[in-house]
Amino acid sequence: MPVRKAVILAAGYGTRFLPATKAIPKEMLPIVDRPVIQYIVEEAVAAGLDQIIMVTSAAKRSIEDHFDRQFELEHALEAAGKRDYLDAVRGPAAVQMAFVRQKERLGNGHAVLITRPFVGDEPFAIFFPDDVIFHHVPAIRQLIAVHERYGSTVLAVQQVPPERISLYGVIDPRPVGPRLYEVQRVIEKPPAAEAPSNLATVGRFVATPEIFDVLEQTPPGRAGEVWLMDAFDRLRQRQTVHAYEYEGERFDCGQPLGLLEASLHVALQRDDMRADLKAYIRSLDV
């Protein structure tokens, strides 16, 4: 069965960006002139996914508004002949989306579980929007290709230095092909000395529908929350789970420095900004 649906988890508080995120969802903070969440949705669409389920919370209505039509603004831009801005505003509204509210913060596993009525009995993609990944082949498309070959759940992984191991879910890998591993274990945020590898999970996954049954049976972990990594570790006891070392440049936009780095990366690709930005950087006494 083809992968058609994307589940995007966007219900977190965004405390690392306070006080900005007191009133603005962290997913709506911009990378240059587009919010982070739009890059995630565009990756899903570019990978061929045509149904998007966004998990949000009560304080994140602006995400829903961003992906809605604003006819008065569109009319004003059209009347002013500002076609580029008009196309930029209309683009997000062309995506078909459903929004599900996570009414209690019970973990990212719980956030996935509440999408079950919308996903149904088919494989689906999962996105953590903190991770923005740039590559000519969308990162999620790379995982889908592995799923299409093996029919398995697939986790995106990347190599991380020892001092950052404890920030991630880490896999115990058995190599089975170029950049491809069979997952023997998944350990959530282990100390570096106890980590089975330096391959850390990143916020892109393709899951088989069996993950929902596993999530229902996964007990709460730290802070009384259900963690998706714990469910993946349980799932691999029932069926093969693969991990793929994706290609691309990733920015952790859940951190202020990562968001700044992503903005610089995007600006340096743009013809209307590159020269001036380079001149400014050269002018700095650093």
Q: Do 49 and 5 touch, CB atoms closer than 8 A?
A: yes
d(CA 125, CA 5): 6
Which pLDDT does position 12 carry in this prediction?
Answer: 84
Which pLDDT does position 225 carry in this prediction?
Answer: 86
d(CA 24, CA 14): 9
Tokens at 103, concatenated: 């009414």
d(CA 132, CA 145): 19
Residue written as token pair 């966004």: 54
Reduce the DSSP state of residue 262 to 3 states and report it. Answer: helix
Q: What are the mean pLDDT values of the chain's consecutive 10-residue runs (286 residues total)?
A: 94 88 93 95 93 92 89 88 85 82 91 95 96 97 97 96 90 94 92 91 96 93 86 94 97 96 96 95 87
Q: Which amino acid is at 174?
A: R
Give the residue extent of every domain in the chain.
5-150+203-219+243-283
Q: Do 244 and 180 touch, CB atoms closer than 8 A?
A: yes
In this structure, what are the phi and psi dihedrals at residue 67, rounded to the nearest 5 degrees? -95, 20
Which pLDDT does position 15 carry in this prediction?
Answer: 87
Beta bridge partners of 124: 5, 207
Q: Candidates 3.80.30.20, 3.90.550.10, 3.30.70.1560, 3.40.50.150; correct CATH number of 5-150+203-219+243-283?
A: 3.90.550.10
Residue written as token pair 């930029």: 88
Question: 61-65, long-range: CB within 8 Å, 24+ apart, which pairs?
Answer: 62/24, 62/25, 62/28, 63/10, 63/25, 63/27, 63/28, 63/37, 63/99, 64/99
Reduce the DSSP state of residue 203 to 3 states and report it. Answer: strand
Which pLDDT does position 221 carry in this prediction?
Answer: 78
Reduce the DSSP state of residue 198 to 3 states and report it. Answer: coil
For helices 71-79 and 83-93, the axis angle rounded to 10 degrees is 160
**pTM for this predicted structure:** 0.93
